[in-house]
């Protein structure tokens, strides 16, 4: 695979599948060769839209397509375990959308399948591959603001999301936390690792999914993080990292920043802006490039989005849901 194009299969034909595929077809070292849907018609329409050679009306055909190097799973979260599991069991490598699974138990099962079978597996946490987030993390790791004392991050959308929307449907893993809260939690854990304690409050819908959730995470180092997510209010979607010697403020879109400001104690503020060569701020190409780099290097895990980090995030999401009383139908943990 060193020289030739990486051959992608797309599993599901919804909004995110289309967004990611549009970026993939624009990458010279990628080729989208197959798409699978739960039924034939959407697969055919998706294949025609993006010029994809093979369209499958079932997942098994994609799982057994030996001419596919890696499958991108873009079903609702509730189906990530089944879809990614089927692909891994059949020998495919997998990039699986966020949240990785419904809960940590499912995540552990997928990670075990990948590690036991020697297959590549990565959560599509594109934030971790974003050049500006990597720059910010390098600054924090280099001690630019001293020791991290507090992280604030939020992500909320006003909607309105009707009761029929997947975000409101418990059977599809609905609610703000898994869909949106995964970003502030993953951002916080990128900087501080897994918290030692968690408190949380949420407002639940009639369907018993969380409409908005606030959580306070703490670490034995003395650091705290406040995270908030909502599907009933458009939040600033910003973040701020306070350290013992300064602060970094990231305005709207902290998980795909255009700019951020570093305030070092006793110095003028420094603004960091995105390099135009990195392309549009919301590009998913950095994530796709990381998958292809790892596959070409023969790696089964991404160093930017390590599976142990994904598992730690899933444990935090589980604990927050335990604190606020959200359980999905038939869920066992």
Task: Respond yes or no: is residue 98 known to be catalytic.
Answer: yes
User: Applying CB under 6 A, does 42 fall inside the site for ligand NAP?
Assistant: yes
User: Applying CB under 6 A, does 319 fall inside the site for ligand NAP?
Assistant: no
Task: Pick from 8, 9, 13, 313 the residue near ligand NAP by CB under 6 A.
Answer: 13
DSSP 54-119: EEESSHHHHHT-TT-SEEEE-S-GGGHHHHHHHHHHTT-EEEEPSS-SSSHHHHHHHHHHHHHHT-
Task: Pick from 70, 84, 85, 98 the residue near ligand NAP by CB under 6 A.
Answer: 98
- Exposed / middle / buried, residue 302 (Cβ in 10 Å: 0-12, 13-18, 19+): buried
Q: Look-up: residue for tokens 């444990």?
A: 315
Q: 15 vs 234, which CB is nearer to ligand NAP?
A: 15
Integer Cα distance of 53 and 32 in angstroms: 8
Task: Pick from 105, 166, 264, 323 the residue near ligand NAP by CB under 6 A.
Answer: 166
User: Applying CB under 6 A, does 285 fall inside the site for ligand NAP?
Assistant: no
Asked if residues 229 and 177 have their Cβ atoms less than 8 Å apart, the reply is: yes
User: Applying CB under 6 A, does 241 fall inside the site for ligand NAP?
Assistant: no
Task: Pick from 6, 8, 10, 12 the residue near ligand NAP by CB under 6 A.
Answer: 12
User: Applying CB under 6 A, does 134 fall inside the site for ligand NAP?
Assistant: no
268-279 CB burial, b ≥16 within 10 A, e <16: eeeebebeeeee
User: Applying CB under 6 A, does 77 fall inside the site for ligand NAP?
Assistant: yes
Query: What is the pattern of x (binds ligand NAP, CB under 6 A) and - over residues 113-132?
Result: -----------x-x------
Give the residue nearest to ligand NAP (CB). Answer: 14
Residues with a known catalytic role: 98
């Amino acid at each position: 695979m060193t020289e030739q194009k990486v051959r992608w299969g797309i599993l599901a034909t919804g909004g995110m599948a289309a967004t990611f595929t549009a970026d993939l077809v624009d990458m010279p070292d990628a080729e989208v060769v197959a798409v699978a849907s739960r039924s034939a018609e959407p697969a055919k329409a998706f294949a025609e839209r993006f010029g994809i050679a093979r369209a499958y009306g079932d997942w098994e055909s994609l799982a057994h397509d030996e001419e596919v190097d890696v499958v991108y799973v873009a079903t609702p979260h509730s189906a990530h375990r089944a879809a990614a599991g089927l692909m891994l069991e059949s020998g495919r490598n997998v990039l699986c959308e966020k949240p990785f699974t419904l809960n940590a138990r499912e995540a552990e099962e997928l990670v075990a399948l990948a590690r036991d079978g020697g297959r590549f597996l990565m959560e599509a946490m594109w934030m971790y591959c974003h050049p500006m987030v990597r720059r910010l993390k390098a600054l924090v790791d280099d001690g630019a603001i001293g020791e991290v004392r507090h992280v604030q991050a939020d992500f909320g959308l006003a909607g309105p999301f009707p009761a029929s929307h997947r975000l409101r449907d418990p059977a599809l893993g609905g609610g703000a936390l898994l869909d949106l809260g995964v970003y502030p939690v993953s951002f916080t854990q990128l900087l501080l690792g897994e918290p030692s304690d968690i408190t949380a409050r949420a407002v639940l819908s009639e369907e018993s999914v969380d409409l908005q959730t606030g959580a306070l995470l703490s670490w034995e180092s003395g650091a705290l993080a406040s995270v908030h997510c909502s599907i009933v209010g458009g939040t600033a979607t910003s973040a701020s990292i306070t350290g013992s010697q300064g602060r970094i403020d990231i305005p709207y879109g902290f998980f795909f920043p255009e700019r951020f400001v570093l305030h070092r104690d006793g110095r003028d503020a420094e603004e960091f802006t995105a390099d135009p060569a990195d392309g549009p701020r919301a590009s998913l190409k950095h994530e796709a490039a990381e998958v292809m780099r790892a596959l070409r290097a023969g790696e089964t895990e991404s160093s930017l989005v390590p599976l142990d980090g994904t598992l730690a995030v899933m444990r935090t999401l589980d604990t927050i849901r335990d604190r606020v009383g959200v359980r999905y139908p038939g869920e066992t943990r």
